[in-house]
Structure 1
Amino acid sequence: MATTPNPELRSQRAHRAILDATFDLAVRKGYAKLTVEAIAAAAGVGKQTIYRWWPSKAAVALDALNEKMGPDTEFPDTGDITADLKTQISGLARLLTGDVGPIYRGVIAEAQTDPRIAAAVREIIIEPRIGRCQDRLSLGVAAGQIRADLPTRTMVEMLYGPVYYRFLLGAPEAEVRRSADLVDPILAGLRPASS
């Protein structure tokens, strides 16, 4: 008896193939040369399959990036806020100076003229990670390691603003990778005042 193919499984395979092809092509050829046509050909799907799930190449690339950013953007909790932030920022800097960086820059560049991509970058990449960082900083506040009179969102901006400043303005990779060195002076201003 013949079995019919499972369309959900086929869709999952196509989805995976598209994300993999997008990342691979963007790394090998550069984000600027990435096209939906090339993604479709490399993934073995029709363009209409891609457009069914994503409105543009930037949207596909954003989903592929989000997957690749995974564990390097998680926030450890060893009980030492300084060590945890240095670990997390070092992981992020490694990611941004690796294969992810040029693709992320390309997506962010498109976000400057496409409000849908700008909103998606914030929704998919930025806001969830800000939330996780705020959670970790709140634990530092509760432990008395960080002052309580400043919103944790402001702290996130203070800590990560320099990383993105260096990354997006084309600082040398070594400088981006040294971004974790800024944690100590930033936290010096965030420590509770001594009694």
Structure 2
Amino acid sequence: MKKANTSREIPVDTASEVDQPLEKTAPTRGRPRSEAAAASVLNAAYACAAQEDARNVTIEAIAKASGVSKVTIYRWWEDKQALLTDAFLWHIQRQVPLSESGDPIRAIHRHAVLYLSQLNGEMGRVLRVVLAECLTKSGDTSVFCERYLNHRRELGGRVIAAGQRSGAIPSKRSPFLLYDQIYGTIFYRFVFGFPGLNTRFVRELIEHTFHGP
């Protein structure tokens, strides 16, 4: 029986990214991870999940595409849902960065609009695959929350809190409630396919959220 890897750390160097790197954990026993090999696995997992028909994404297919053995992949990730979730986070950190420097309102506007544009492409397909894998594997989305959503939510909350401290964001509600109102609405409308989810909607949603009661 494989020992579960509970670390939230993605095994690649994120120091050059706009996002803050995930918290470091104690090194695992055994051979150290190859950053190049880990990046190859994450890239292959994301690419496999982005295919038009990704219902049969397997560790075998990811191993073949990455050139990294199944044994090694399972040493780094306990199962496919953890790997796909980490691959999704790895990609979004690079393609949809959220900066903690500069104007917070501008940063949220830019990030949310870019996030929406990515959802309308392959990133949206990958998100659905990741959610489906989590629900199929464990019956809930706890892995998705622990390895992806909590990290992004904490980052967004920090940006919004900075805007509240500066007075740029008038709302006095919790920054995490404001984050949830913006990104939860985008997520909900995207996953369930409600019409009207466009750039104008997102910009108006942000303004109403930040300036509302």
Q: TM-score, normalised by structure 2?
A: 0.72
Structure 1 gap segments, 5+ residues each: 1-6, 191-195
Distance 1:36 1:51, change over 3 A: same
Identify which of 72, 75, 78 aligns with 2:102: 78
- 1:86 Cα shift? 1.1
Secondary structure (helix, strand or coil) at the match of 1:16 reads helix
Secondary structure (helix, strand or coil) at the match of 2:102 reads coil
1:161-176 equivalent positions in 2, closer than 5 A? 161-171=184-194, 175-176=197-198
**Segments ≥4 residues shifted beyond 6 Å:** none
Counterpart Cα distance in 2 of 1:95 and 1:31:
18
Kindly provide the amino acid, as one letter, of the partner of residue 14 in structure 1: A
RMSD: 2.6
Is the 8 Å Cα contact of residues 163 and 169 (structure 2) preserved in structure 1? yes
Structure 2 gap segments, 5+ residues each: 1-30
Counterpart Cα distance in 2 of 1:90 and 1:106:
22
1:109-120 equivalent positions in 2, closer than 5 A? 109-115=132-138, 118-120=141-143
Q: Deviations over 1:7-50 (max 9, x none)?
A: 657x4343232222212222235331211111122222332222
Identical amino acids, percent of aligned pairs: 25
- 1:68 Cα shift? 0.8
Identify which of 71, 89, 95 aligns with 2:112: 89
The aligned counterpart of 1:4 is none
1:25-174 equivalent positions in 2, closer than 5 A? 25-71=48-94, 72-75=96-99, 77-79=101-103, 81-115=104-138, 118-147=141-170, 149-171=172-194
Q: How many residues align?
A: 181
The aligned counterpart of 2:10 is none
Is the 8 Å Cα contact of residues 58 and 107 (structure 1) preserved in structure 2? yes
Q: TM-score, normalised by structure 1?
A: 0.78
Residue 183 in structure 1 maps to residue 206 in structure 2? yes
- 1:161 Cα shift? 1.6
Residue 15 in structure 1 maps to residue 49 in structure 2? no
Higher helix share: 1
Whichever of the two has the greater Rg, that structure is: 1
- 1:122 Cα shift? 1.5
